[in-house]
Amino acid sequence: MGSRHVIDPITRIEGHLRIEIEVENGSVKDAWSSGTLWRGFEVFLKGRDPRDAWIITQRVCGVCTEVHALASVKCVENAVGVTIPDNARIIRNLVHGAQYIHDHPVHFYHLHALDWVDVVSALKADPKATSALANKINPNSPDSGPGDFKVVQDKLKKFVEAGQLGPFTNGYWGHSAYKLPPEANLMAVAHYLKALKLQSRIAQLHAIFGGKNPHIQTYAVGGVTCVGDLNADRIGEFKYIVKEARDFIDNVYIPDVIAVAPFYLDWAGIGGGLKNYLSYGMFPGKGGKEPDNLWFPRGIIMDRDLTKVHPVDAASITEDVTHSWFKYAGGAPLNPSVGETDPWYTGVETATDGKYSWLKTPRYDGHAMEVGPLARMLVNFVSGHKETVDNVSFLLKTLGVGPEVLFSTLGRTAARAIETKIVADKIDSWLDELLANIKKGDLDTFTDFKMPDKARGFGMTEAPRGALGHWIEIEGGKIKNYQLVVPSTWNGSPRDGKGQRSSFEESLIGTPVADPERPLEVLRTIHSFDPCIACAVHIIDKDRDEIYKVRAV
Instruction: State the Cα–Cα distance between residues 201 and 390, nearest whole angstrom.
Output: 29
- H or E element, residue 28: strand 27-35
pLDDT at 238: 98
One of 61, 75, 107, 279 is an active-site residue; which one?
Answer: 61
Q: What angle do CA 194, 118, 131 make, to 5 degrees?
A: 50
Q: Kindly state the helix (H) or strand (E) to which residue 384 belongs, with its residue range.
A: none
- Residue 407: CB atoms within 10 A of its CB come to 22
- Least confident segment among 232-236, 345-349, 489-493, 495-499: 345-349
pLDDT category of residue 535 using cuts at 50, 70 and 90: low
Cβ pair 535, 466 in contact under 8 A = no
Residue 64 annotated as catalytic: yes
Give yes or no: 226 in active site. Answer: no
Active-site residue identified among 68, 412, 470, 501: 68
Q: What is the pLDDT of residues 172-214, one digit of tens each?
A: 999 999 999 999 999 999 999 999 999 999 999 999 999 999 9
Task: Quote the pLDDT of residue 138.
Answer: 86
pTM (2 d.p.): 0.94
> Average pLDDT for residues 342-358, to the nearest whole number?
80
Asked if 102 and 205 touch (Cβ cutoff 8 Å), the reply is: yes
d(CA 280, CA 291): 8
Does residue 68 have an active-site annotation?
yes
Q: Which of 144, 473, 503, 535 is catalytic?
A: 535
Query: Alpha-carbon distance 511 to 482, whole Å?
Result: 38
Query: Strand, helix or coil at 488?
Result: helix
Which position among 18, 64, 112, 141 bears the catalytic label? 64
Strands 27-35 and 478-485, how do they pair? unpaired
| 61 catalytically annotated | yes
**For residues 138 and 144, what is the distance between their CA atoms, to the nearest angstrom?**
10
CATH number at 3-536 = 1.10.645.10
Q: State the CB neighbour count (10 A cutoff) for residue 452.
A: 13
- Is residue 229 within 8 A of residue 208, CB to CB? The reply is yes
List the catalytic residue out of 12, 246, 465, 470: 465
Among residues 72, 488, 503, 507, the one annotated as catalytic is 488
- pLDDT higher than threshold 70 for residue 80: yes
Q: Catalytic: 5?
A: no
Taking the C-alpha atoms of residue 370 and residue 303, their distance in angstroms, rounded to an integer, is 11
- Whether residue 75 lies in the annotated active site: no
Q: How far apart are CA 493 and CA 32, in angstroms?
A: 9
Report domain extents, the chain. Answer: 3-536
The answer, yes or no, to whether residue 63 has pLDDT greater than 50, is yes
